[in-house]
Amino acid sequence: MTLLVTGGAGFIGSNFVLDWLASSDEPVVNLDALTYAGNLHNLDALQGDDRHIFVKGDITDRGLLDRLLQQHRPRAVLHFAAESHVDRSIHGPGAFIKTNVEGSFTLLEAVRGFWTERPADDKAAFRFLHVSTDEVYGSLQPTAPAFTETHPYEPNSPYSASKAASDHLVRAWHHTYGLPVLTTNCSNNYGPFHFPEKLIPLMIVNALAGKALPIYGDGQQVRDWLYVRDHCSAIRAVLAGGRTGETYNVGGWNEKANVEIVHTICALLNQLRPSDAGPYERLITHVKDRPGHDRRYAIDARKIESELGWRPAETFDTGIRKTVQWYLDNPQWVEQVQSGAYREWVTQQYTTA
User: CA–CA separation, 141 vs 160, rounded Å?
Assistant: 18
Burial of residue 48 (CB within 10 Å: 0-12, 13-18, 19+) is exposed
Q: Write out the catalytic residue numbers.
A: 134-135, 159
Burial of residue 331 (CB within 10 Å: 0-12, 13-18, 19+) is exposed
Q: What are phi and psi of 79, to 5 degrees?
A: -105, 95
User: CA–CA separation, 234 vs 308, rounded Å?
Assistant: 9
| H or E element that contains 87 | helix 86-91
User: CA–CA separation, 290 vs 93, rounded Å?
Assistant: 15
Question: Which residues in the chain belong to E strands, given as ranges?
Answer: 3-6, 28-32, 52-56, 76-79, 127-133, 181-186, 188-190, 213-216, 222-227, 247-250, 255-257, 284-287
Give the list of residues 6+ apart from residue 291 with CB closer than 8 angstroms, or none.
90
User: CA–CA separation, 85 vs 63, rounded Å?
Assistant: 28
CA nearest neighbour of 134 among 308, 291, 252:
252
User: CA–CA separation, 118 vs 237, rounded Å?
Assistant: 24
Name the H helices within 217-301. 228-241, 258-272
CA nearest neighbour of 13 among 64, 65, 82, 75:
82
